[in-house]
């Protein structure tokens, strides 16, 4: 992970922090608190510790991943050279804001979906900001969600463009079944109840009901039940699922709902960094802050 953090720090401070260098005397040691301004779910604290430590700051986390955080809660204490604390401030906050937002939105979507179907899984997708796949998935897990596949090599997922090339749902699943390891699951993305039936008959392990209305999803579920195939497949609803309609999709009878909202458009949680104490300045200990 360090090379990634290094690139973020280089991006923000390639030529240094000219403001801090102009104003703050070398050797000024401070204590700063990272504070959540909103109710949130903590996520990616280990990575926050790593990036702070890599920047030469002594981090002291106050919460763990998955922990609920109230507004005003200090989630991390930082001690060290003021120049280093201020240098890492924005990169650290940007990372935590994103991760806390993802985890919080995931937990809220699970709560809404579970109100209609207790135990339903809420999953992420591979739609993430470039370079943030690992953190996005970890934040989803911190919020209690399912990470779905972690990369292209994690599972066979036959999508619309594969089907345009192959030409047939059943044939695509059959080809994948012939070539896949016994340990590899096969999921196929379908756009209608009839395609779902074809995929189930061909032996798909998971069927993604993509961009269908709740009524169409329910129709697909009922069709598979009528054909005696429902218990043989995992059904996932995806496409256009948000906090507003998660409960409606959960009520259709699917096993999983997946949403890119979790990682691409989460409810923003605010965090800030405040210097709360000057520990040392000009060889004077516990220099008081002027308020």
SS3 280: strand
Biggest CA pair distance of the chain: 80
Catalytic residue status for 281:
no
Q: Tell me how far apart the alpha carbons of residues 263 and 101 are, in angstroms, rounded to a whole number.
A: 9
Edge to edge, what strands does the sheet with 74-81 contain? 58-61, 74-81, 29-36, 271-281, 284-287
DSSP state of 74: E
Which one of 64, 107, 117, 127 is the catalytic residue? 127
Edge to edge, what strands does the sheet with 186-190 contain? 121-123, 256-258, 234-238, 206-210, 186-190, 156-158
List Cα–Cα distances, 247 to 38, 125, 192, in angstroms.
24, 18, 21
| Residues with catalytic roles | 127
């Amino acid at each position: 992970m360090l090379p990634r953090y290094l690139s973020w720090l280089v991006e923000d401070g390639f030529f240094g922090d000219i403001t801090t260098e102009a104003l703050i005397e070398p050797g000024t040691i401070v204590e700063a608190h990272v504070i959540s301004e909103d109710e949130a779910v903590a996520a990616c604290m280990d990575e926050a510790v790593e990036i702070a430590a890599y920047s030469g700051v002594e981090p002291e986390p106050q919460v763990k991943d998955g922990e609920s955080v109230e507004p005003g809660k200090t989630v991390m204490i930082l001690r060290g050279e003021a120049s280093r604390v201020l240098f890492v401030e924005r990169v650290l906050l940007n990372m935590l804001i994103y991760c806390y937002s993802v985890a919080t939105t995931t937990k809220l979507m699970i709560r809404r979906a579970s109100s209609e179907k207790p135990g339903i899984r809420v999953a992420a997708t591979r739609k993430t900001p470039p370079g943030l796949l690992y953190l996005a998935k970890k934040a989803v897990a911190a919020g209690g969600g399912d990470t779905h596949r972690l990369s292209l090599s994690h599972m066979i997922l036959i999508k619309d463009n594969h089907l345009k090339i192959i030409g047939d749902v059943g044939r695509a699943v059959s080809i994948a079944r012939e070539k896949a390891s016994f340990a590899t699951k096969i999921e196929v993305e379908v756009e209608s109840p009839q395609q779902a039936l074809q995929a189930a008959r061909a032996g798909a392990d998971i069927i993604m009901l993509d961009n269908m209305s709740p009524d169409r999803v329910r129709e697909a579920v009922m069709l598979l039940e009528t054909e005696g195939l429902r218990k043989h497949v995992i059904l996932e609803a995806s496409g256009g699922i948000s906090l507003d309609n998660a409960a409606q999709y959960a009520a259709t009878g699917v096993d999983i709902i997946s949403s890119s909202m979790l990682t691409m458009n989460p409810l923003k949680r605010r965090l800030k960094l405040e210097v709360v104490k000057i520990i040392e300045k000009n060889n004077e200990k516990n220099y008081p802050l002027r308020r």
